[in-house]
């Protein structure tokens, strides 16, 4: 198959869009991945179908080419991410990175992202160096199925391949349109199959089509290019589903029509095959693999915000690293004259075992590879058990999760003040505040989830027995919640025994604070900005609950809305910028002593 220089230009457009998206400058730039999917399906099918027509298709050869093309660079990047994580990351974040290293290496990071970061657009994903390898998981899972279709339908049965692909594409597209979960349609191969397969169908069905009206074909091609640029760079399409569908169809249209014009049309060649576009397109895989790693570690360890100046600098570093790996890894490993199959397998197999095994081990110890005094975590105090599935015994969430033991009825006949805390994980934080306070010996604290308090019949007795009820807010909760409890259990709740403990937030990532501070830092004045609409939620709660509101942010934030990160002795108040550490709970409980005395002794 003749080399399509214009496809390098299409790759360049796609990878630039993705890079701008991850810098935070192009909201629709993520659609560049959809462009890559269609290109991949088109090129792979062109090769496989052509070989199958000649009776020369080999599954072994197919997988060797895929291994040479993808795996060496993937393993190098995931290994470097792991090594940087050992230096710069706090243990919980390192543990999460180790999960991503293992998942990326086994072509399953799309599944991990669905389980742990379902919202692809969430800010926390900006701090994940390997979050972008979800797309490689999609492609590699596609490759596990796709070649066997051609193997089964080889020889005289090859004429049925287009019918099978049309049927599978239709099933995938219908599933995509009917699935309500945005996360599922984003991360799972069954909802992405149609994008790659449509590229493949374009290669098969239109391989010999000739556009007889040359000028009209040119206009169509330019129109498709303009439409793709508009979708990528302007917010003109209202929904993600429509954006994906239009991007897919326009991209395959460009691939089909552009085949006739990439050599003879000067304007098209100038746009899509100029030296700059061709070079960026040729190194697009390296650019894609490096950019998120560099941006994520920059955000995590050095930069509170990627300004335009820093964006240029980081993109320049991405370009340098991409050139190095393009010439030092991609090209040598793809060339059978340079790298024998044995050498490729030894390198990839060895690095796979080393990086996957090391990352898995660090994951099992919760990422605690050294002492972290800021979190009161020390190597010689590691628990004996190993972390495998991040359950409630995970060392980083166990302090919060242990509160589940208090989801039980009050003790009959006790003289302690019966205190029922209601909430979610924020409620469990509130419970720990009570337990860490100087009044804990005079309290009998019990815990209940928001929803379960209304739905479980036995909660009625708990509500009636409670001397104090503490509601713990993460988002806005109005007083109608109490009315819903009364209606659910046919009771009347004494409003004088109910308080609302407010929301809290400690910024976007602890990583930058960990890497920026040392023992000489003025921890009593070291602050960070809070996320999103936390301040407005806090204000709404304060207005709704009045003197029944316990305002945590007022205790910790200054007039500019910047909140404390550390206790006075340099311990993180929050382990994950949302939930409290034991040190943070003790510090806050101390700051709340007078308020607690008013609530429990008043």
The structural domain count of the chain equals 2
Q: Are residues 354 and 417 in the same domain?
A: no
Q: Are residues 81 and 219 in the same domain?
A: yes
- Residue 169 sits in the same domain as residue 272: yes
pLDDT band at 343 (very low <50, low <70, confident <90, very high): very high
Instruction: Examine the domain organization and report whether 20 and 70 are in the same domain.
Output: yes
Within a domain: residue 181?
A: yes
pTM of the predicted structure, to 2 decimals: 0.93
Domain boundary (337, 361, 385) is at 361
Per-residue confidence band for 482, with pLDDT thresholds at 50, 70 and 90: very high
Query: Rounded mean pLDDT of 289-306?
Result: 96
Q: Last residue of some domain: 361, 384, 418? A: 361
Per-residue pLDDT at 290: 98
Segments forming the whole domain that contains residue 438? 398-601
Which pLDDT tens digit goes with each residue over 312-325? 999 999 999 999 99
Q: Residue 455 domain-assigned?
A: yes
**Residue 596: partners with Cβ closer than 8 Å, 6 or more residues away:** 434, 437, 439, 589
| Average pLDDT value for the chain | 94
Tell which residue, 584, 576, 580, has the closest CA to residue 124: 576
Confidence of residue 427 (pLDDT cuts 50, 70, 90): very high
- CA 307 to chain centroid, in Å, comes to 22
Of 494 and 384, the one with more pLDDT? 494
Residue 264 has pLDDT above 90, yes or no: no
The answer to whether residues 354 and 402 belong to one domain is no
Residue 392 domain-assigned? no
DSSP per-residue string spanning 539-580: HHHHHHHGGGEE-HHHHHB-TTSEEE-B-TTS-BSBSSSSSB
Whether 520 maps to a domain, the answer reads yes
User: Domain check: are 489 and 357 in the same one?
Assistant: no
Could you read off the pLDDT of 354-409 as tens digits, one per residue? 999 999 999 999 999 999 999 999 888 776 666 666 556 688 888 999 999 999 99
| In a shared domain, residues 406 and 307 | no
Boundary of a domain, candidates 361, 384, 408: 361
**pLDDT for 87 beyond 90:** yes
∠ CA 142-195-167, nearest 5°, is 80
What is the token pair recorded at 56?
Answer: 């020369």
Angle formed by the axes of helices 161-178 and 240-258, nearest 10°: 160
Q: Is residue 443 located within the same domain as residue 580?
A: yes
Residue with the bigger pLDDT between 417 and 208: it is 417
Say if 380 falls within a structural domain: no
Return d(Cα 135, Cα 195) in angstroms, integer: 12
CATH number at residue 462: 3.40.50
pLDDT of residue 392: 60
Give residue 384's pLDDT: 65
Asked if 546 and 412 sit in the same domain, the reply is: yes
> Is residue 40 domain-shared with residue 108, that is, in the same domain?
yes
Q: Count other C-beta atoms under 10 Å from residue 148's C-beta.
A: 12
Asked whether residue 378 is domain-assigned, the answer is no
What is the number of residues in the chain? Answer: 602
| Residue-level pLDDT at 393 | 67
Residue with tokens 């009045």: 546
- The mean pLDDT value for 224-235 works out to 95
pLDDT digits (tens, 9 = 90+) for 560-598: 999 999 999 999 999 999 999 999 999 999 999 999 999
Q: Is 390 inside any structural domain?
A: no
Question: Considering the chain, what percentage of its residues have pLDDT values greater than 90?
Answer: 88
What are the start-end ranges of the H helices in 411-501? 425-436, 450-455, 459-465, 480-489
Q: How would residue 205 be classed by pLDDT, with cut points 50, 70 and 90?
A: very high
Domain shared by 325 and 427, yes or no: no
Helix-helix angle 91-105:109-116, to 10 degrees: 140
388 inside domain: no
Q: What is the mean pLDDT of the segment spanning 137-161?
A: 94
Q: Is residue 1 very low, low, confident or very high in pLDDT (cuts 50, 70, 90)? A: low
Residue 497 has pLDDT above 60, yes or no: yes
Q: How far is Cα 64 from Cα 330, in angstroms, rounded to an integer?
A: 14
Statement to judge: residues 404 and 468 lie in one domain: yes
Query: What residues contact 193, with CB distance under 8 A and at least 6 apart?
Result: 142, 168, 169, 172
| ∠ Cα 424 184 109 (to 5°) | 90
Q: How many other β-carbons are positioned within 10 Å of the β-carbon of residue 481? A: 17
Q: Which two tokens stand for residue 166?
A: 């049309």
With H, G, I as helix, E, B as strand and everything else as coil, classify residue 422: strand
The string of DSSP codes covering 498-537 is: EEEEPP----S-SHHHHHH--TTS-TTT-EEEPPTTHHHH
Residue 479 has pLDDT above 70, yes or no: yes
Q: Which two tokens stand for residue 594?
A: 């007078």
């Amino acid at each position: 198959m003749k080399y399509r220089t214009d496809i390098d230009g299409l790759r360049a457009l796609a990878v630039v869009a993705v890079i701008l998206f991850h810098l935070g400058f192009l909201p629709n730039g993520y659609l560049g991945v959809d462009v890559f999917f269609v290109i991949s399906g088109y090129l792979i099918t062109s090769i496989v179908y052509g070989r199958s027509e000649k009776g020369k298709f080999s599954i072994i050869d197919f997988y060797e080419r895929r291994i040479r093309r993808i795996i060496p660079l993937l393993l190098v990047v995931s290994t470097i991410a792991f090594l940087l994580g050992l230096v710069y990351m706090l243990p919980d974040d390192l543990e999460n990175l180790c999960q991503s290293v293992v998942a990326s290496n086994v072509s399953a990071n799309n599944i991990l992202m669905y389980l742990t970061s379902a919202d692809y657009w969430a800010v926390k994903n900006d701090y994940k160096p390997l979050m972008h390898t979800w797309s490689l998981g999609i492609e590699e899972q596609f490759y596990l199925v796709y070649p066997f279709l051609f193997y089964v339908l080889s020889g005289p049965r090859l004429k049925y391949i287009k019918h099978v692909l049309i049927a599978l594409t239709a099933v995938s597209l219908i599933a995509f349109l009917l699935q309500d979960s945005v996360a599922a349609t984003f991360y799972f191969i069954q909802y992405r199959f149609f994008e790659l397969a449509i590229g493949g169908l374009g290669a098969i069905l239109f391989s010999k089509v000739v556009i007889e009206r040359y000028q009209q074909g040119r206009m169509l091609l330019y129109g498709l290019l303009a439409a793709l640029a508009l979708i990528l760079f302007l917010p003109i399409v209202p929904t993600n589903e429509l954006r994906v569908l239009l991007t897919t169809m326009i991209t395959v249209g460009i691939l089909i029509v552009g085949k006739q014009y990439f050599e003879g049309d000067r304007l098209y060649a100038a746009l899509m095959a100029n030296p700059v576009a061709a070079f960026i397109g040729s190194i697009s895989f390296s650019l894609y693999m490096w950019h998120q790693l560099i941006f994520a570690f920059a955000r995590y360890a050095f930069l509170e915000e990627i300004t335009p100046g820093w964006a240029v600098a980081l993109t320049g570093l991405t370009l340098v690293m991409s050139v190095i790996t393009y010439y030092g890894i991609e090209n040598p490993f793809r060339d059978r004259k340079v790298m024998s199959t044995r050498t490729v397998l030894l390198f990839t197999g060895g690095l796979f075992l080393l990086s996957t095994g090391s990352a898995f081990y660090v994951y099992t110890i919760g990422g605690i590879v050294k002492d972290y005094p800021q979190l009161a975590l020390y190597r010689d105090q590691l628990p004996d058990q190993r972390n495998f599935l991040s359950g409630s015994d995970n060392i980083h969430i166990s302090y919060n999760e242990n509160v589940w033991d208090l989801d039980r009825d009050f003790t009959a006949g006790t003289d302690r003040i019966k205190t029922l805390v209601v909430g979610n994980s924020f409620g469990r934080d509130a419970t720990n505040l009570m337990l860490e306070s100087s009044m804990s010996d005079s309290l009998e604290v019990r815990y209940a989830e928001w929803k379960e308090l209304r739905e479980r019949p036995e909660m009625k007795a708990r509500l009636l027995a409670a001397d104090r009820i503490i509601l713990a807010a993460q988002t806005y909760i109005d007083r109608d919640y109490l009315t819903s409890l009364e209606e659910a259990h046919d009771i009347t709740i004494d409003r004088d025994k109910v308080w609302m403990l407010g929301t809290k937030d400690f910024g976007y990532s602890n990583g930058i604070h960990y890497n920026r501070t040392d023992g000489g830092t003025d921890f009593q004045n070291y602050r960070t900005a809070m996320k999103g609409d936390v301040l407005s939620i806090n204000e709404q709660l304060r207005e709704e609950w009045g003197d029944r509101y316990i305002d945590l942010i007022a205790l910790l934030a200054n007039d500019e809305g910047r909140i404390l990160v550390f206790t006075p002795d340099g311990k993180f108040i929050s382990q994950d910028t949302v939930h409290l550490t034991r040190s943070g709970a003790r510090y806050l409980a101390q700051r709340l002593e007078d308020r607690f005395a008013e609530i429990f002794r008043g």
